[in-house]
Amino acid sequence: MYICKSHVLAAVLCTSAALLVGCNQSEAPKSAGQQVDSAMDAGKKEVDKMERRLDKAGDAIEQKAAAAGQALDDTALTARVKAKILAADDLKTNDIAVETKNGVVTLTGTAATHAARDHATNLAMLVDGVVKVDNKLVVMQKSS
């Protein structure tokens, strides 16, 4: 038989409240039924408070899980973009760093030519899940 923690907690709170209500001598004596009703009301209020706290905690956990999931997605995107860049003959010798945040890929470092710089952008955009590419690659100046 499964016993829900909130039901056990409610029973404990109701019993505690009933004992406390029974000890209260400042009011006119209450009947047993009134004492039970008062205890049940107090217990229900406490259970409601706990449910609100649990809901808030659950929301916080969901937000943290979503953030962790996004970080994993970004890491996977970064790896796939890097793999494409390393596989491209015209980009292998370039110093290109890749960072991803919320699906936006940022490329930094150097490219040998303007064509190589544009190629890096195009390769990154081919990766499924990339929302945008912010290409900050600097084209190397060749000395004459």
What DSSP string describes 66-109?
Answer: HHHHHHHHHHHHHHHHHHHHHH-TTTTTS-EEEEEETTEEEEEE
Compare 97 and 6 and report the one with higher pLDDT. Answer: 97
> Which class for 37: exposed (0-12), middle (13-18), buried (19 or more C-beta within 10 A)?
middle
| Same domain for 88 and 50 | no
Model pTM score: 0.55
Higher-pLDDT residue of 88 and 41 is 88
For 32, phi then psi, to 5°, come to -60, -40
Task: Let me know whether 43 and 81 are in one domain.
Answer: no
What are the φ/ψ torsions at residue 124 (nearest 5 degrees)? -65, -40
61 and 80 together in one domain: no
- Per-residue pLDDT for 93 more than 70? no
> Is 135 inside a domain boundary?
yes
pLDDT over 60 (residue 23): no
pLDDT at position 92 is: 72
**pLDDT: which is higher, 43 or 134:** 134
Does pLDDT of 50 surpass 80?
yes
- For residue 144, being part of any structural domain is answered with no
Task: Give the model's confidence band at 137: pLDDT under 50 very low, under 70 low, under 90 confident, else very high.
Answer: very high
| pLDDT exceeds 80 at position 64 | no
Residue 38 lies in a domain: yes
**43 and 98 inside one domain:** no
Percent of the chain with pLDDT over 70: 72
| Any domain includes 128 | yes
Q: Which CATH number fits the domain that encloses residue 135?
A: 3.30.1340.30
Q: For residue 18, what are the domain limits?
A: 5-23+30-66
Residue 107: is its pLDDT beyond 90?
A: yes
With respect to residue 58, please indicate whether it lies within any of the assigned structural domains. Answer: yes
User: In the structure, what pLDDT confidence band is assigned to residue 56 with cuts at 50, 70 and 90?
Assistant: confident
Rg value, the chain, Cα: 32
Domains of the chain: total = 2
